[in-house]
Amino acid sequence: MRTLPILDLFVIILYLVAMVAVGAWFSRKNKNADQFTTASGRIPGWAIGLSIYATFLSSNTFLGVPGKAFGSNWNSFVFSLSMPLAAWVATRFFIPFYRQTGEVSAYTHLEHRFGPWARTYAVVCFLLTQLARMGSIFFGIALSLQALTGYPMATIMVIVGTCIILYTVMGGMEAVIWTEVVQGVIKTAGAFIILWLVVDGMSGGVDRIVAIGRTDNKFSLGSFAPDFTQATFWVILLYGFFMNLNNFGMDQNYVQRYHTTTSKREAARSVWLCVYLYVPVSLVFFVIGSCLYAYYQTNPDLMDAVRMQVATERLPNGSPAAIRQLAATLQPADVGDKVMPHFMVTRVPAGLVGLIVAAILSAAMSTISSGMNASATVFSLDIYQRYINPALSEKKALRLLYLATTFFGLLGMLTGIAMIGVKSVLDVWWLLSGIFAGGMLGLFLLGIISRTTRNAEALTATLIGILVIVWMTFSAQLPEEYAFLRNPLHQNMIMVVGTLTIFLIGVLLTRLRRPKPAPVETVA
């Protein structure tokens, strides 16, 4: 830990103040709920594309991806490779559907198809997914800033969260989008700055990095064997396709943006712009992780320092001997999330630290602000106005959105505080999002594709799907005598199996319901 130089502190404070100022600037336009949630449909497609890209490029990417590459390989990059196929499905089918219905909420359609229970179930799953996402991002940003400042992680979350709440509540969706445009540029520049610093400080340069990476199999995309019990290429590809389909197809964060553009064509262009930017830039973060691995392998004293830091955090009251003993047993996978913050503390020169921290802050703030706005919109439309007071005036609807945005911001902050001490922020996010999103996506696909499925079939399929998801998630906790009942598949398959279970069982029940055609009598 160290005290940040005045110049770096000035850059960070300037960035936070600027974000709040943007929210104050756009607050003048928020005269009604439509402006707050969709910016009245006047945002150009390129800005929406950069906004979606910035939402994808969260602090989970900024810190979690290099940590995964450092501790293992490029297996998680397969998630990015699945994006083009999911984007094609979304632009071909989902965007035209949403633009035609005109519904701001992604979940109103489910009530039209299957009844209020379906809409409520999807809303609950979405809100839980958002809490998991915001919490993991709060945790990621606090993890990095703690290493730089020495302040408690909870304190950092409160300070950063307050700034995010202020500019999101004041500015609404238009402020969120335009700040994300700026944040997308800042965080991309930050990634390339970190990459340059690591390579520049590496003895032997790129050739040495490649040699070490090849020797230790750091560039592998995973096994291509048809094995779904491990994080193989195919497991990550399937998980990535279904999760990105959920993101582009029914995540309120993205669906809400489709309504802020001027046309269906602009909305589709925004999705493809996000894909064109995110896939190569996410690769940069894997390259950073591999470069950091080579750097720390050639500087074993620095690697020992990281191990000691992690061991001290795991044994805060342990003796020096116990801490040293634990540190000696830690592997690269155990310290991955700590490496980039440690590199910034020890190797990044004064002046650049502030810029990189601003980039990490922008990575966190863009995703959290989007989650807050989308959660508030869903709560307002799908819960409050659906069940409590459907006849809200424009003034009261806007006030409700302000309060809901603040509430979900605070709840996300508390979720992040509860995550303090987890091993891998990226693994936690992938697990929680797969649990909550699997059932939601399966029900949505059933409603879109199977036009003859009725309420009873959909409800039955959803209940069975929930039971399958619960079993796959928690069966690993069963005692040894019941080991045969444990889920044999990798945890990322929860999303895939949960989605397919609801969809396929719904289709099967629909077919079983159809009466068989009467036999045709032939005339002799």
Q: SS3 sequence, 446-501?
A: HHHHCCCCCHHHHHHHHHHHHHHHHHHHHHHHCCHHHHHHCCCCCCCHHHHHHHHH
Above 90 in pLDDT, residue 291?
A: yes
Q: What is the DSSP letter of 516?
A: P
pLDDT of residue 430: 57
Above 60 in pLDDT, residue 180?
A: yes
pLDDT of residue 219: 93
> What are the C-alpha distances in Å from 332 to residues 232, 295, 296, 352?
19, 13, 10, 26
**% of the chain exceeding 90 in pLDDT:** 23
* Amino acid type, 447: G
Backbone angles phi, psi at 439, to 5 degrees: -65, -35
C-alpha–C-alpha distance, residues 385 and 12, integer Å: 39
Above 80 in pLDDT, residue 38?
A: no
Above 50 in pLDDT, residue 1?
A: no
Above 70 in pLDDT, residue 60?
A: no
Above 80 in pLDDT, residue 66?
A: yes
Asked whether the beta carbons of 344 and 8 are under 8 A apart, the reply is no
Estimate to the nearest angstrom the gap between the alpha carbon of 119 and the chain centroid.
22
Above 90 in pLDDT, residue 516?
A: no
> Torsion-angle region of residue 412: left (phi > 0), alpha (psi -120 to 50) or beta?
alpha
End-to-end Cα separation, the chain, in angstroms: 95
- Helix, strand, or coil (residue 514): coil
Above 70 in pLDDT, residue 211?
A: yes
């991309």: which residue's tokens?
188
Can you spell out the DSSP letters for 139-208? HHHHHHHHHHH---HHHHHHHHHHHHHHHHHHHHHHHHHHHHHHHHHHHHHHHHHHHHHHHHHSTTHHHH
Asked whether the beta carbons of 157 and 420 are under 8 A apart, the reply is no
Above 80 in pLDDT, residue 116?
A: yes
C-alpha–C-alpha distance, residues 302 and 472, integer Å: 40
Angle, CA of 54, 377 and 165, to the nearest 5°: 60
Above 90 in pLDDT, residue 181?
A: no
pLDDT of residue 89: 92
Asked whether the beta carbons of 228 and 235 are under 8 A apart, the reply is yes
Residue 37's contacts (CB-CB under 8 Å, 6 or more residues apart) are 104, 172, 173, 256, 373, 377, 401
pLDDT of residue 74: 94
- Measured on CA atoms in the order 47, 50, 51, 52, is the torsion positive or negative? positive
C-alpha–C-alpha distance, residues 376 and 364, integer Å: 18
Asked whether the beta carbons of 4 and 148 are under 8 A apart, the reply is yes
Q: Cβ–Cβ contacts within 10 Å for residue 344, how many?
A: 20
Q: How confident is the model at residue 495 (pLDDT cuts 50, 70, 90)?
A: confident
Above 80 in pLDDT, residue 204?
A: yes
Tell me the two tokens of residue 139. Answer: 């945790």
- Helix, strand, or coil (residue 220): coil
pLDDT of residue 519: 59
146-150, 217-221, 369-373, 421-425: which range is least confident on average?
A: 421-425
pLDDT of residue 432: 65
Residue 139's contacts (CB-CB under 8 Å, 6 or more residues apart) are 153, 157, 416, 419, 420, 422, 425
Asked whether the beta carbons of 11 and 190 are under 8 A apart, the reply is no
Burial of 489 (0-12, 13-18, 19+ CB in 10 A): middle
pLDDT of residue 275: 93
71-75, 182-186, 293-297, 376-380: which range is least confident on average?
A: 182-186
Q: Catalogue all structural domains in the chain, each as residue range(s) with its CATH number.
A: 6-421 (1.20.1730.10)
C-alpha–C-alpha distance, residues 308 and 326, integer Å: 8
pLDDT of residue 39: 63
**% of the chain exceeding 70 in pLDDT:** 90
Element (H, E) at 299: none
pLDDT (mean) for 47-72 = 81
Q: What is the DSSP letter of 381?
A: I
Q: How confident is the model at residue 182 (pLDDT cuts 50, 70, 90)?
A: confident
Looking at every residue in the chain, the average pLDDT score rounds to: 83
341 vs 270, residue with greater confidence: 270
386 vs 141, residue with greater confidence: 386
* Helical pair 425-449 and 455-474, crossing angle rounded to 10 deg: 160
Asked whether the beta carbons of 436 and 125 are under 8 A apart, the reply is yes
pLDDT of residue 283: 94
> What are the C-alpha distances in Å from 215 to residues 35, 195, 286?
55, 21, 17
Asked whether the beta carbons of 79 and 239 are under 8 A apart, the reply is yes
pLDDT of residue 524: 45
pLDDT (mean) for 193-213 = 90
């709040």: which residue's tokens?
20
